[in-house]
Homo-oligomer: A and B are copies of this chain.
């Protein structure tokens, strides 16, 4: 039996482990439910989802677990890209479209945020987590009035303070090591690249709500290290990308499973927003143009068909192979086994560590 933390009590879970709400269809109902059934907090990565589709998936998760789970949504930001920028990006992407045999690429953006929140309330989802910013005050109040716990994302101390001031119940402190998109919303991406070892204690010192450590954590060692830094729990993304229940593409899973700590880079080429993934040809090709690409989510829409078709054609050189900096610690296992192995290992580390003085 794990000792309760303020985080596990807050969320009504047993293990202080959150599966990150990775968007793009990685977080199947099976994955979310498996993590929650094993005592952690599964999260549906609903960032890009149509609200009705999201509701269907939420219903499916509920059929598979009676435990709490989270839905992760993206807070919309300002888009200031010009049509010249969009045209220029479209032009840059033409060779990839041609090679992959794609007819057309659409930069269309659907605004889904408020409708997603309505569905989350309608479905009595227990936890709603936010990436890329803070929701408007009226929505925070509405969600809280419906007894939904709110988790924000911070990449700096300042962002953590803003999250607490806005009324979040907990914060994910996302370190530099983390795979996928940076949650940065208040300041430059460059200034917000703070390693997990530095970020967590400095955030813990400045907020009173529970802090969840994220970035590079993939096993019991990372879990215990995070707790020692003052975190009340951890969030893991990459560790679950390679799980049996994840619907990450085969090439993506294989890339992580065979990768090393020095293989990832930060890129905004896929989406217009900075994210960490395994370096490949597309990232290298686009690197010189990163500063001029259209904002997220326009660039994301523009590259959508490329990523999708590249996966079907098994061309990982054009796929977004999101990964944190600890891929050597990845394993292809059931989510339940990943979690139970962590508990067993954590137990064993602490036993051999007692008394340390």
Residues of A within 8 A of B (CB): 1-3, 156-158, 175-177, 187, 190-192, 194-199, 201-202, 205, 215-217, 219, 221-222, 224-230, 260-262, 265, 324-326, 328-329, 343, 346-347, 349-350, 353-357
Q: With the chains together, A228 CA to B227 CA distance in Å? A: 10
Q: With the chains together, A192 CA to B262 CA distance in Å? A: 6
* Residue in chain B with minimal CB distance to A177: B195
Q: Among the listed B198, B229, B329, B343, which residue makes an inter-chain contact with A325, where contact means beta carbons less than 8 Å apart? A: B198
Q: With the chains together, A312 CA to B347 CA distance in Å? A: 54
Which B residues lie within 8 Å of A354 (CB)? 350, 354-355
Min Cβ gap A353→B in Å is 7
Q: List 30 A-B contacts (CB under 8 A).
A: A1-B357, A156-B261, A156-B262, A157-B261, A158-B262, A176-B195, A177-B194, A177-B198, A192-B262, A195-B195, A195-B196, A196-B197, A197-B215, A197-B217, A198-B215, A201-B222, A201-B326, A202-B326, A202-B328, A221-B228, A221-B229, A225-B228, A225-B229, A227-B353, A227-B356, A228-B349, A228-B353, A343-B357, A350-B355, A354-B354
Which B residues lie within 8 Å of A2 (CB)? 356-357
Min Cβ gap A150→B in Å is 24
Question: Judging by beta carbons under 8 Å apart, are A226 and B227 in contact?
Answer: no
Min Cβ gap A261→B in Å is 5
Question: Judging by beta carbons under 8 Å apart, are A187 and B262 in contact?
Answer: yes
